[in-house]
């Protein structure tokens, strides 16, 4: 076991590296040529223009003003300055609520740390059990933990009481936060200006009709069944093929740009390329002519395909976006069952236009259930047996295997240094590659499951990733074995022994997890702000592809919060904090620092960097709540298991009530708040309808909605997605707000926004 | 272990007793003075008049026509004669679908029996494992079971294949039946004539408003939020107190009737009674005068209370029945969320007026969740620890305890025969009493949970009773111990061992369960048709209370199906049949006979006896489906456990896929069919609205709905419930059908009804 000295050493290293990242960030962000890497959000908003246009020739690229370097941590207070309503306005409701998860962590764990240090540490230290047990190896750290209490001691009552107090406090905080987020969401939805998705319902599984086209069928059905409310509808084209052609053309366009740039800089020789695979072999041709010809071909193909999709009735899939005259009508249609066969005419709220995941709109009901079954089984195997295929790859990738398959490599492999390198690193690389592509695998699984919006896909991927982390990182580190071995162990243990087995290992793993938090949570978060990968990619693109200012804009990669992987990782910290809160109170400050630091960094990032890809209105919050409660129940059961081994049998029944109460609390909150994230109340819809009818009685809604839900490839020839986003931006943010000039760190507190707070 | 001879003997006894019940029934039912016991349904329908009015004086009471006795089993074909559409019309959709559960049992188990005897019995018999094992005690019966297969034999593949075939067949039958019931339900709802609940929504948790009364608040809210659809509403009075007074008055009325009858028969002395408790002590007074005075007093009290409830605004509870102009409007309101606070303005389909459980309408949301938590905890303790309080009662009820508490009984107790009787029977009596009052306890628990309709209360009680039977009858008999001991055993066993422990005991308990089926399933069902308790009660009432023909009508107790206890008991047979289908094929014919006999008996009973208390449109079917699937999964896991002990390890993974597929099938069916039992599709509502507007454009819906949902005590002074039912009967059954004279066993096949079939 590590001593306090070891921990301090590790902490010092990680704090220093975090500090180094911050210094590097402070220097890099002040250089004008990095401006688009560290402030892309402001460019996307159209508020910031490139600093490279003004100033002297050197100043265009390097910041020479020394004063700005002195205050190198000034971004921290700046990040905190922007008030929340303005933040919602600037970065979107999703992002603003996302960083509230970190705030929730602070709200839970700061009081928990104070209480734990005030009550449990003195109780543990004066337990003096370990002083008398010379046979055990222990460190000073263990004297602060529950291990220092002699078995059967009455001191355990302190831990039991604190378990209740901690549970109560966590539930109270969760309840308050859920209530606040819910009311903010309702307020946000109510204050939003007119948007197409407020009037629109996505209808899937339109039954085939021999006499009518899909469009006619939809129109007749809703004219009959929603006679006073139906307004219009848009059919969905199966444009996946067209979309592929467009993507291919754009990649060729990139190559064309590259060669044109090359030619412009060195206009002596025209660049050449080879026609074969990846330009590696084949006949050599003039690159610019070749790519021009290829793009021309694809443009023709694209036009033909576009024609085909629009004219061919088979390209229309049995789904439609149906719009209503009022929000009330849409709310009614989205929440009710239309047909006596509940697998036909499925209605749900339409996602925002930019949030729609188009390829999944046409899956029939039976296929959907089979896909979900297959994915559930796959997820099980992926989580518990993911080591098997990796082991196979590893065994194939050993040297004898490589020599057999590729005999010509033999002389190279036989070199000593290469041999030891391959043998030392190759086994680990397969695992590392798997872990890197895991989020993509999970996202693909969610896509196969057939969800229809990007936000939902991210939420479902997050759920899968959470399961993976819980099983493989948390349980895997505690029981030390592959998930499949652990599953086997747990299956062969009784239901009452499982918490004991895991609970007993918990105190021993405290130092390991403390180190993990410092590396992954402290230094890792600090590295996040440096954006090393986007920095490199941006400068590479800048060097080779960028011709015009518009290209430069496209070269900018603001990235996004990455909910699907980031949220489950936060949940791991909630889980660790709650599990160790009673057992090893020394653990808690590390968690608190993680949450504080993350809050700062991500608040800065959503203000200055990340682009918002869609707006779901914090639809993820019920998941956050559910996972924190899962963590609480796990913590309670493990504490129960641990204490039951410490001859404190009379006190364990007291703990049994905790999980029951916690689960009840969860059910209560679910009924109380979750509908606000799933349904849209008729009262609110009616209020908004009435208000709008009064303020804008002659608005032509039909024209407004006519083209809202068109597949992005039809939106404007050539440049689809960015335009789609721009269109929405104009709808989302009223012009008044767009015109206000905000610069980062100087966000002036809008007094007109303050009254919308709360 | 019992031999085949023992089983045959037991079967003979039970068949004989069943036969005796049938003979007794055949004789009793033909006696005119029992007519109201065995054919009450026809009296309630107003189709049959008492045979005691016609014929000679003896013939009025005893049937002397010998020919009718010869065909004493003639009721059996008669019960089967009535076609299903007519049955639905006559006995209600609920009852008709209820007996389809027995039909479902036949459809599942007849092919299973045939297959099992054709394939598994030969495989088992030729296994000859038990022939070589002289050390084991076994019977001929065991040679037919899976125990006769030597461990590790390849013959287990036959059982695995049959497990798949049986699962497939059961799922297929369940699917077809679910589909049929769903379409019949939708057809039934569509073909129903106008009913108040089609237009009405029950609104609960109306928030208090300082400026408005509940009635005004409801009217304003729905006028604003459903402007084109809201029609009217009815507030709910808290008339529980008034209802108690009315009940008390009616019981006094019974006593008055009793004494008046007594006086009329023996008019010499006026009967006297005592004013004390139960008329056992106190001053002696003239009984008729006394009860007349008491009733007068209560009538006054009732009038005052009635006045108070109607005039006092505090007697109005925050709930209302809101009616809409169209079924479409009601369907929309019932399926949508009204307010942004999802715990206020809760809407659901209003139950039928006679189905409303009035006392539960006013429970606030928070209280409701606390009540459910308490009841869930209570149910757990009731199921697993019910033996503790009974053991305490038993120990209190031993002789020393009685002697101490009631010393004056000492001489009586000391008598030898009484002593042995008390010691022999008293311990069992506490358990017996508990089991008799168990359904009442469970129903009370469901009432505390706050469900608002009788049908829902019955369904929830059935769920609790099913859990109790599953744990205490099924598991309790197999592991042989109290549920709490078993829970302890199971908690201390690993998840993979539990199916093994139980699975291994399964074959050994086959003969026990066969005996159980014969006693409870064969003879018990045959006893049901005799209706011994209602027979005695009716004749007692007839002798003492009946003055007029109307009294005689009230003395009649048609009873009802008793879904809350009957359905879970059927499910036990499904469970036993599925568990033993592969393990002991010999078991299956007993199950088949049970289902066949029950189908016959209950079809007869719903035609001739049971009264329908409410109509839920077979809302219970999803529960039936879910429980049969639970039984399948249990059977599969136990088979897995059993086979894994038989050195057939390589074949067990094959079985693992079965529960996964079965659960997937369940989820599929749930999504495919369950919405039809919960929601009402807008398309169907619109069709019915349109049709009605065309056929009856001037119908005054408002007047029609005005008094539909009035608390039964306000309905008509004095005689509340029967009248409420009568009112509904008139609405339910069109006059044309009422006037058709049907007599039992001669039900003429209505040609106009045939086209509604299917």
**How would you write A290-355 as a 3-class SS string?**
HHHHHHHHHHHHHHHHHHHHHHCHHHEEEEEEEEECCHHHHHHHHHCCCCCCCCCCEEEECCCHHH
Considering only CB atoms, A335 lies closest to which of B336, B493, B672, namely: B336
Q: Using a CB-CB distance cutoff of 8 angstroms, which residues of chain B are in contact with residue A684?
A: 340
Mutation target vs B (from A183, A326, A682; most B CBs, 10 A cutoff): A682
Is a pLDDT exceeding 90 seen at residue A429?
A: no
CB contact under 8 A, A377 and B490: no
Mean pLDDT of the region B724-740: 37
CB contact under 8 A, A365 and B339: no
Q: What DSSP designation does A150 have?
A: P
C-alpha span between A236 and A356 (Å, rounded)? 11
- CA A236-A241-A242 angle, to 5 degrees, is 80
C-alpha span between B660 and B620 (Å, rounded)? 25
CB contact under 8 A, B491 and A491: no
CB contact under 8 A, B335 and A335: yes
Tell me, what's the pLDDT at B403?
67
- Nearest chain A residue to B497 by CA distance is A492
Helix (H) or strand (E) holding B346: strand B346-349
CB B517 within 8 A of CB B576: yes
CB contact under 8 A, B492 and A496: yes
Mutation target vs A (from B182, B340, B497, B667; most A CBs, 10 A cutoff): B340
Neighbour-count burial of B659, counting CB atoms closer than 10 A to its CB (0-12 exposed, 13-18 middle, 19+ buried): middle
C-alpha span between B571 and B566 (Å, rounded)? 9
Find residue A349's DSSP bridge partners.
A201
Q: What DSSP designation does B326 have?
A: S
- CA B385-A650-B391 angle, to 5 degrees, is 25
CB contact under 8 A, B686 and A225: yes
Nearest CA distance, B328 vs chain A (angstrom):
9
Tell me, what's the pLDDT at B171?
95
Q: Coil, strand or helix: which one is A203?
A: strand
Question: Cα Rg for chain B, rounded, in angstroms?
Answer: 29
Tell me, what's the pLDDT at B737?
37
Torsion B135-B136-B139-B145 (CA) sign = negative
CB contact under 8 A, B668 and A369: yes
CB A108 within 8 A of CB A173: yes
Q: Edge-to-edge strand order for the sheet containing A200-204? A: A230-237, A316-324, A200-204, A346-349
Q: Considering chain A, what is the average pLDDT of its residues?
A: 79
Neighbour-count burial of B685, counting CB atoms closer than 10 A to its CB (0-12 exposed, 13-18 middle, 19+ buried): buried
Helix (H) or strand (E) holding A602: helix A588-608
Compute, in degrees rounded to 10, the torsion defined by CA atoms A270, A276, A278, A284: -20
CB contact under 8 A, B495 and A495: yes
Q: Using a CB-CB distance cutoff of 8 angstroms, which residues of chain B are in contact with residue A681?
A: 336-340, 342
Distance between alpha carbon B285 and the CA centroid of its chain, in Å?
Answer: 44
The ipTM value here is: 0.78
List helix spans (H) across B128-239: 129-132, 140-143, 156-191, 214-225
Tell me, what's the pLDDT at A319?
87
Helix (H) or strand (E) holding B635: helix B621-644
Contacts of B34 (CB under 8 A, 6+ apart): B28, B535
Considering only CB atoms, A675 lies closest to which of B337, B660, B680, namely: B337
CB contact under 8 A, A365 and B225: no
Please report, for residues A197, B335, B384, B725, the alpha-carbon distance to residue A200 in angstroms, rounded to integers and kept in the order given: 5, 18, 51, 45
C-alpha span between A603 and A80 (Å, rounded)? 7
Considering only CB atoms, A224 lies closest to which of B491, B496, B686, namely: B686
Residue A425 vs residue A42, higher pLDDT: A42
Q: Which of A750, A755, A598 lies closest to A87 in space, CA to CA?
A: A750
Q: What is the pLDDT of residues A106-163, one digit of tens each?
A: 999 999 999 999 988 888 888 777 777 655 556 667 777 888 888 878 888 888 899 9
CB contact under 8 A, A337 and B660: no
Mutation target vs A (from B336, B371, B641, B653; most A CBs, 10 A cutoff): B336
Lowest mean pLDDT among A124-138, A598-612, B7-21, B594-608: A124-138
DSSP per position, A258-297: HHHHHHHHS-SS--EEESSGGGSSS-EEEHHHHHHHHHHH
Considering only CB atoms, A343 lies closest to which of B369, B672, B684, namely: B672
Is a pLDDT exceeding 80 seen at residue A618?
A: yes
Q: What is the pLDDT of residues A179-194, one digit of tens each?
A: 999 989 988 888 887 8
Q: Coil, strand or helix: which one is A154?
A: coil
Tell me, what's the pLDDT at A719?
38
Q: Which of B597, B578, B606 lies closest to B14 in space, CA to CA?
A: B597
Contacts of A195 (CB under 8 A, 6+ apart): A352, A731, A732
**Percent of chain B scoring above 90 in pLDDT:** 17
Nearest CA distance, B329 vs chain A (angstrom):
10
Residues, chain A, total?
Answer: 758
**A18-49: burial string, b at 16+ Cβ within 10 Å, e else:** beebbebbbebbbebbbbbbbbbbbbbbebbe
CB contact under 8 A, B672 and A337: no
Residue A144 vs residue B439, higher pLDDT: B439
Please report which confidence band the pLDDT of residue A747 belongs to, taking 50, 70 and 90 as the band edges: very low
Structure-block tokens of residue A455: 């936000």
Considering only CB atoms, A186 lies closest to which of B340, B369, B675, namely: B340
Q: Which of B318, B186, B188, B329 lies closest to B701 in space, CA to CA?
A: B329
C-alpha span between A601 and A18 (Å, rounded)? 12
Q: Which residue has the tokens 């990455």?
A: A562
Q: Which of B584, B727, B621 lies closest to B183 in space, CA to CA?
A: B621
Considering only CB atoms, A336 lies closest to which of B331, B365, B369, namely: B331
Structure-block tokens of residue B736: 């044309």
Structure-block tokens of residue A363: 């899956």
Q: What DSSP designation does B348 have?
A: E
Considering only CB atoms, B335 lies closest to which of A337, A377, A493, namely: A337
Mutation target vs B (from A226, A657, A683; most B CBs, 10 A cutoff): A683
Q: Which of A488, A462, A486 lies closest to A475 in space, CA to CA?
A: A486
Lowest mean pLDDT among A502-511, B126-135, B398-407, B593-602: B398-407
Lowest mean pLDDT among A700-709, B159-168, B403-412, B562-571: B403-412
CB contact under 8 A, B686 and A339: no
Neighbour-count burial of A758, counting CB atoms closer than 10 A to its CB (0-12 exposed, 13-18 middle, 19+ buried): exposed
Q: What DSSP designation does A164 have?
A: H
Tell me, what's the pLDDT at A60?
59
**Percent of chain A scoring above 70 in pLDDT:** 80
Mean pLDDT of the region A375-396: 77
Question: Cα Rg for chain A, rounded, in angstroms?
Answer: 29
Please report, for residues A276, B427, B484, B621, the alpha-carbon distance to residue B431 in angstroms, rounded to integers and kept in the order given: 87, 7, 16, 32
Please report, for residues A407, A416, A431, B313, the alpha-carbon distance to residue A423 in angstroms, rounded to integers and kept in the order given: 18, 11, 14, 86
Backbone conformation region of residue A617, classed left if phi is above 0, alpha if psi is from -120 to 50, else beta? left
Please report which confidence band the pLDDT of residue B101 belongs to, taking 50, 70 and 90 as the band edges: very high
Helix (H) or strand (E) holding B660: helix B652-673
Tell me, what's the pLDDT at B165?
93
Nearest CA distance, B487 vs chain A (angstrom):
11
CB A287 within 8 A of CB A270: yes
Structure-block tokens of residue A229: 């409310």
Helix (H) or strand (E) holding B378: helix B365-385
Lowest mean pLDDT among A560-564, A687-691, A752-756, B334-338: A752-756
Domain ranges of chain B: 4-118+150-186+483-670, 196-351+680-709, 376-449
Is a pLDDT exceeding 80 seen at residue A270?
A: no
Please report which confidence band the pLDDT of residue A751 belongs to, taking 50, 70 and 90 as the band edges: very low
Lowest mean pLDDT among A20-34, B132-146, B568-582: B132-146
Q: Coil, strand or helix: which one is B265?
A: helix
C-alpha span between A193 and A731 (Å, rounded)? 8
Tell me, what's the pLDDT at B39?
79
Q: Using a CB-CB distance cutoff of 8 angstroms, which residues of chain B are in contact with residue A331?
A: 336
Structure-block tokens of residue B739: 């006037």
């Amino acid at each position: 076991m590590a001593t306090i000295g070891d921990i301090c050493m590790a902490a010092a290293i990680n704090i220093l590296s975090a500090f180094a990242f911050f210094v590097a960030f402070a220097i890099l962000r002040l250089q004008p040529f990095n401006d688009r890497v560290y402030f892309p959000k402001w460019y996307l908003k159209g508020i910031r223009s490139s600093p490279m246009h003004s100033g002297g020739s050197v100043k265009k690229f390097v910041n020479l003003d020394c004063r700005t370097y002195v205050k190198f941590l000034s971004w921290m207070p700046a990040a905190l300055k922007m008030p929340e309503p303005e933040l919602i306005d600037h970065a979107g409701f999703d992002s603003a609520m996302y960083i509230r998860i970190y705030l929730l962590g602070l709200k839970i764990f700061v009081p928990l740390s104070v209480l734990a240090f005030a009550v449990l540490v003195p109780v543990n230290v004066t337990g003096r059990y370990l002083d008398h047990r010379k046979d055990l190896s222990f460190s000073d750290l263990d004297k602060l933990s529950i291990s220092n209490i002699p078995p059967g001691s009455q001191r355990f009552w302190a831990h039991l009481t604190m378990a209740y107090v901690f549970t109560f406090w966590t539930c109270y905080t969760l309840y308050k936060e859920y209530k606040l987020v819910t009311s903010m969401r309702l307020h946000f939805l109510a204050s939003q200006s007119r948007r197409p998705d407020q009037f629109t319902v996505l209808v899937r599984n339109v039954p085939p009709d021999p006499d009518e086209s899909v469009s006619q069928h939809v129109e007749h059905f809703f004219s009959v069944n929603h006679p006073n409310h139906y307004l219009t509808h848009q059919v969905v084209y199966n444009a996946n093929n067209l979309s592929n052609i467009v993507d291919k053309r754009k990649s060729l366009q990139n190559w064309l740009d590259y060669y044109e740039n090359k030619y412009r800089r060195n206009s002596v020789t025209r660049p050449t390329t080879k026609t074969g695979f990846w330009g590696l072999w084949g006949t050599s041709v003039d690159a610019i002519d070749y790519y021009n010809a290829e793009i021309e071909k694809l443009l023709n193909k694209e036009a033909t395909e576009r024609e085909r999709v629009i004219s061919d009735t088979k390209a229309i899939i049995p789904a439609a976006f149906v719009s209503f005259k009022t929000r009330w009508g849409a709310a009614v249609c989205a929440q009710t069952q239309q047909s006596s066969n509940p697998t036909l005419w499925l209605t749900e709220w339409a996602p925002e236009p930019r949030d729609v995941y188009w390829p999944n709109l046409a899956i029939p009901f039976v296929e959907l259930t089979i896909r979900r079954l297959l994915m559930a089984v796959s997820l099980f195997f992926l989580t518990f047996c993911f080591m098997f295929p990796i082991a196979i790859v590893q065994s194939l990738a050993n040297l004898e295997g490589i020599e057999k398959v590729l005999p010509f490599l033999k002389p190279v492999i036989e070199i000593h240094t290469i041999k030891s390198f391959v043998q030392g690193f190759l086994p680990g690389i397969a695992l590392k590659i798997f872990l890197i592509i895991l989020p993509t695998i999970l996202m693909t699984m969610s896509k196969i499951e057939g969800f229809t919006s990007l936000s939902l896909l991210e939420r479902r991927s997050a759920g899968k990733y959470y399961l993976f982390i819980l099983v493989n990182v948390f349980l895997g580190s505690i029981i030390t074995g592959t998930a499949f071995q652990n599953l086997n162990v747990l299956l062969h243990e009784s239901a009452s022994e499982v918490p004991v087995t895991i609970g007993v290992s918990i105190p021993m793993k405290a130092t390991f997890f403390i180190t993990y938090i410092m590396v992954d949570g402290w230094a890792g978060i600090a590295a996040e702000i440096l954006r090393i990968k986007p920095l490199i990619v941006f400068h590479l693109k800048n060097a080779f592809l960028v011709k015009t200012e518009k290209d430069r804009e496209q070269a900018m990669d603001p990235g996004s919060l990455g909910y699907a992987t980031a949220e489950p990782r936060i949940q791991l910290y909630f889980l660790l904090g709650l599990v160790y809160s009673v057992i090893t109170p020394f653990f808690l400050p590390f968690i608190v620092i993680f949450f504080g630091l993350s809050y700062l960094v991500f608040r800065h990032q959503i203000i200055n960097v990340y682009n918002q890809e869609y707006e779901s209105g914090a639809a993820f919050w019920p998941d956050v709540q559910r996972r924190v409660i899962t963590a609480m129940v796990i913590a309670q059961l493990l504490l129960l298991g641990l204490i039951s081994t410490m001859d404190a049998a009379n006190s364990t029944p007291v703990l049994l009530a905790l999980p029951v109460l916690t689960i009840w609390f969860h059910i209560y909150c679910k009924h109380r708040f979750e509908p606000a994230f799933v349904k849209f109340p008729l009262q609110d819809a009616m209020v908004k309808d009435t208000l709008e009818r009064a303020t804008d009685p002659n608005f032509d809604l039909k024209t407004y909605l006519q083209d809202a839900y068109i597949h992005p490839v039809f939106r404007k020839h050539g440049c689809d997605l960015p335009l789609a986003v721009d269109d929405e931006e104009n709808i989302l943010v009223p012009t008044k707000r767009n015109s206000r000039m905000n610069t980062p760190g100087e966000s002036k507190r809008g007094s007109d926004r303050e009254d919308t707070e709360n």
